[in-house]
Chain A
Amino acid sequence: MTLTTIGLPAIVLLPFLGAALVAYLSKAHRLLSFWGAGFITLLAINVLFQLSHIPFNNEVLIQSWVWIESINLNFSFRLDGIGMLFAYIISGIGLLIVFYARYYLSSRDSMGRFYSYLLLFMGSMLGIVLSENILQIVFFWELTSLSSFLLISFWQYKKDGRDGAMMALVVTGAGGLALFASMLILGNMVGSYELSVVLQNRDIIVAHPLFTPMFILFILGVLTKSAQFPFHFWLPHAMAAPTPVSAYLHSATMVKAGIFLLARFFPVFSGTAEWMIIVTTVGVVTLLVGAFFAFFKDDLKALLAYSTVSHLGLITLLFGFSTPLAAQVAVFHIINHATFKAALFMIVGIVDHETKTRDLKKLGGLFSFMPHVATLSMICAASMAGIPPFNGFISKEMIMERAVVDGFSIVVPVLLTLAGGLAVGYSIRFVCDLFFGQKTDKLDVTPHEPVRAIKLPIDLLALGCVIVGLIPMLIVYPLLQAAVFGVLQTTPPEVHLSLWHGFNIPLLMSFLAVLMGIIMYWQKKRLFTLYDRYLSRIDARVPYNLLIESMFKVAKKIDCAIHKGRIHDSIYAFIISTFILGIFGFTIYGNGELFGAEELLGITIPSVIIVLMLFVTVLSVILLHRQRLISLVIIGVVGLIVSLIFFRFSAPDLALTQISVELVTIVLVLLALYYLPPFSPKESSKLKIASDAFLAIIGGIGAFVLAVAVMSREYNPISNFFIENSKSGGGGTNVVNVILVDFRALDTMGEIVVLGIAGIGIFAVLQGLRLHAPSFDARGFNWSKDSHPLIMKTITGLMLPIMLLVAVYIFLRGHNLPGGGFIAGLIAAVALIVQYLAGGIEWSSKRLNFDKHFLIGSGVLIAALTGVVSMILGYPFLTSAFTYLNWPIVGKFEVASAIAFDIGVFLVVVGATVMILVELGKVNMKSHKLSERE
């Protein structure tokens, strides 16, 4: 196995593994999680690097495995130029962020949790950019929404963090759903969910009648994720996140995911009317709105957030132009924006750290305190404003040129110049208001240069801004061309990247923009007065909250209309509608007779007696149900009759299971009954009783008719397969058990998981529960204080090994005779419960102190491992193998792997049952102590 066969999934899955790893490592030492995260990221970069020659040769690497065949979902990855570029940005900036965060996080923050979330996000992001299957893209897309939720709300105690995270999740999650729908439609159009197929079928897709709705859904996903107008509002609120998160997610990676999809589907969608209209318009509006609000924000992070919104709008606009050259410039600007914006965010993080504030009103004149940081910010801000000689200038010049050539009218270049002016304005504001001007006296602390190490990532990024600006052809051109090849799927146009292109219109536009920016900064007091008077109250949260609240209101109304807080009504509605539907189904829509003509078995006298007994017991439970203890005893009898029925009709396994379950259940309910009132009050009116009885009788008639209908019809079961193959395929003669542990082992596996969850759920519900323990019984007598009978205690103690032996025996013979894991588990549980009854709760709780969670967990694990082993051997999951061994003395002995599975079942059953009883017992002890104190 080499990198060219498994390299891509390795890049994507490494961070996921890493997430678990660092969470674990941080237990040992918090810094270990930092080293772990860094190492994992480096490893991913290394794999990526070794595969990079492929996209640089303008080839595409696809690695694919079938995942879920029936829905065309493949586990497939793709490495081409654009994917590689994004993967480098994600992992490269990710590495810097890992480094930065190590110094940023305070000792109170959980480093392991942070790095774990960060790697989770990194993996999801890499998954988006390296996926070949478009459903898989959606899968990872959703994962980025989830992991970004965790990251934004990392400081869980902060309300604005939680709110911002929620808002981001709602907006991007809604967009994710839209994207999912569009990908399903898209896949249906071309008959495949593989990207390579989609990219080659532009003609089919564009001509398809569903193209417009599909595209609108697609663009909703893109716009929400990339914070484009009118969905841009979540991004500034997401700034409540720790700054490394903002630097990573909200400048370089997650918000670019939408842009990435624009690039990814550029060959298919671009140039259509829908694309040009929507993408261009949204791009221009976002560009202006973002730049405008950025200028007026006092919070440094909000300023950068709006600036990011604006730059993303710019990139969107470029893709909207739909020409190859515009796409090329867009990709170039993606690179540049990631460099300077991540650096600027990190700088804000440092300022925040040193001054304890991000408010520009309180800050100023920091240059003398931190000259190094100030220099770095000047470089990056200049790049952001598009000032030579930095990389931002080159891409801005090219963008201006594209706007002049490809823009649809003179309006676009004019608006672009305007936005450029705003960008210069807010960049100047960022630098001047922060580092120059009057030294601030509003700070509680004296700021100073931060430690050397935290500046290192910013140094690197700023260096990137400079050298890309100075020698772009050398540094970035090959990467750019490879990426653009990935976008266009053809050879990209040749361009020359340089700072100087002679005197031309773009230069003039740049000049005007700089001029405008300077004037704006000069006149900022006047502008701010205007802004405060008219615009400062605009808050996207108001309509958003209104929307969310009204949705809650509607949901509540519907809920209140249906659900009136009375279970009684719901049950009525359920049973009556079932009954009506049944009548409809059999009379109007049914064809043929309700009852079949199969010969019935003859009725025997003992059977009639049994049925009469059942009738009497059920009736007694109903009549006596208010006397709880008595009705409980009688319902035990009902259970025994049911097990008799099973036994009579050739189901020994069922009879055994029923008897043991009955015992355990009754003991359990008895224990619980101690804390419940001994009698139910008489509170039903005669009318209610009559209508309840009527409903019950209707239900009974329905069940009767249905049962007779089925049993009188032709009998043509599929079980002959199981009977024929039980011995030869499963190695056992007890077909029921072979079905459980072999043929349908997956079902059984699910069921033991459910049982385990029930056990753990009960554990959780009973945690810390103290109940009022009554000191009198139902008739007002004191509870007996007698110690537990010695003879019973002694005898049950002696019996325990024998009972356990019976359990083992039942377990071992289960494959061939009635028995097996379930029954043996229950018998073992009964053996332990008997100790409970004989020795009392306190006595036996002390002795049953083995780890029940561990038992349940290992049971499920053993069962699953049995399945995995058969997978490793090349058979489907949970196929059992068996062989015969010749043992001396014992003779021929069968060994089936299913027995391991059955051990898992056994452990879960014992673990869950004992857990339930012991936990109830613990409640009892606590409650008694409580009562005694009273």
Chain B
Amino acid sequence: MEILIALCIAFLTSGGIFLILKSRTFSVILGLMMLSYAVNVFLFAMGRLHIDKPAILQKGVTEYADPLPQALVLTAIVISFGMTAFLIVLSLRARKELDSDHVDAEGLEKNRGEKS
């Protein structure tokens, strides 16, 4: 099962990296979203995988999933939401100010004034 989760992390990482290498803001945002998934799952997996042992204390149960990475990842999810939202808004503003949604200076020069 660990191998499968590692595969998931690998897919998400690869997808994320590929997308942030694209030259348009929207693709970069998608890529960053995907990278956040990858990082969150990775962090979560650091507490190892546990099936049917949620960290809710119950009488007579002694084995629980590791709650610490979970707490970390919970806030990480919310923070990555904040980051994504900020990026989106930034990309809107950038489109307005720069008249293009290209991410590089060179690309901006080339694409200035393009209407789509």
Contacts and interface: CB of A to CB of B under 8 A. Distances in A.
Interface of A: 565-568, 571-572, 575, 600-604, 607-608, 611, 614-615, 618-619, 621-622, 625, 628, 631-632, 635, 638-639, 642, 645-646, 648-654, 657-658, 661, 664-665, 668-669, 672-673, 675-681, 683-684, 692-693, 695-697, 699-704, 706-708, 710-712, 715, 717-719, 722-723, 726-727, 733-736, 739-740, 744, 747-748, 751, 754-755, 758-759, 761-762, 765-766, 769-771, 816-818, 822, 826, 909, 912, 916, 919-920, 923
A568 B67 contact: no
Contacts of B73: 651, 654
Contact of A661 (B46, B55, B81, B96): B81
Interface string B65-87: 11110110111011111111110
Contacts of B45: 707, 710-711
Nearest to A569: B104
Closest 3 CB pairs of A and B: A700-B14, A565-B105, A758-B82
B75 A751 contact: yes
Contacts of B58: 733
Given A649-B51, A677-B24, 15 more contacts: A571-B17, A603-B1, A607-B4, A618-B11, A625-B27, A645-B41, A650-B64, A678-B116, A684-B23, A692-B17, A711-B5, A717-B47, A735-B56, A740-B74, A748-B75
A920 B89 contact: yes
A638 B49 contact: no
Nearest to A653: B74
Among B2, B34, B55, residue most surrounded by chain A Cβ atoms (within 10 Å): B55
Contacts of A762: 85-86, 89
Contacts of A710: 45-46
B112 to A, nearest CB: 14
Contacts of B52: 650
Contacts of A679: 116
A327 to B, nearest CB: 57
B31 to A, nearest CB: 9
Nearest to A766: B89
A621 B18 CA distance: 11
B11 A708 contact: no
A666 to B, nearest CB: 10
B74 A628 contact: no
A600 B50 CA distance: 11
A723 B91 contact: no
Given A611-B8, A708-B6, A766-B93, A736 B71 contact: yes
Contact of A740 (B9, B22, B56, B75): B75
A711 B6 contact: yes
B56 A734 contact: yes
A807 to B, nearest CB: 15
A601 B2 CA distance: 7
A652 B13 contact: no
Contacts of A711: 2, 5-6, 45, 48-49
B108 to A, nearest CB: 9
A739 B75 CA distance: 11
B55 A723 contact: yes
A744 B71 contact: yes
A680 B16 CA distance: 17
A719 B30 contact: no
A568 B8 contact: no
Contacts of B12: 614, 618, 638, 642
Among B11, B47, B80, B91, residue most surrounded by chain A Cβ atoms (within 10 Å): B11
Contacts of A739: 67-68, 71
B84 A822 contact: no
Given A649-B44, A673-B26, A676-B26, A611 B4 contact: yes
Contacts of B51: 601, 648-650
A658 B77 contact: yes
Contact of A733 (B1, B56, B95, B103): B56
Given A601-B1, A603-B4, A618-B11, A672 B54 contact: no
A899 B44 CA distance: 25
A762 B92 CA distance: 11
Contacts of B41: 642, 645
A683 B23 contact: yes
A923 B65 CA distance: 45
A621 B67 contact: no
20 contacts: A571-B20, A600-B2, A603-B4, A611-B4, A638-B12, A650-B52, A650-B55, A664-B81, A676-B92, A692-B17, A703-B13, A708-B6, A711-B48, A719-B47, A723-B67, A736-B74, A758-B83, A770-B96, A818-B54, A916-B89
Contact of B8 (A645, A657, A717, A816): A645
Given A601-B1, A654-B74, A699-B13, A707 B30 contact: no
A106 B11 CA distance: 67
A429 B16 CA distance: 74
Contact of B74 (A632, A638, A755, A822): A822
A556 B74 CA distance: 41
Contacts of B82: 754-755, 758-759, 912
A343 B75 CA distance: 59
Contact of A639 (B19, B24, B37): B37
A621 B89 contact: no
Contact of A769 (B38, B83, B93, B101): B93
B26 to A, nearest CB: 5
A635 B44 contact: no
B25 to A, nearest CB: 7
Contacts of B13: 696, 699-700, 702-703
B107 to A, nearest CB: 8
Given A740-B71, A762-B85, A628 B26 contact: yes
B55 A735 contact: yes
Contact of B78 (A601, A734, A822): A822
Contacts of B56: 652, 733-735, 816-818
A637 to B, nearest CB: 12
Contact of B18 (A692, A727, A748, A826): A692
Nearest to A759: B82
A703 B55 contact: no
B70 A653 contact: yes
B68 A758 contact: no
B88 interface: yes
Nearest to A701: B10
Contacts of A672: 88-89, 91-92
Among B27, B44, B75, B82, residue most surrounded by chain A Cβ atoms (within 10 Å): B82
Contact of B22 (A618, A680, A722, A758): A680
Given A653-B70, A665-B81, A695 B21 contact: yes
A650 B61 CA distance: 14
Contacts of B103: 567
B74 A665 contact: no
Nearest to B42: A707
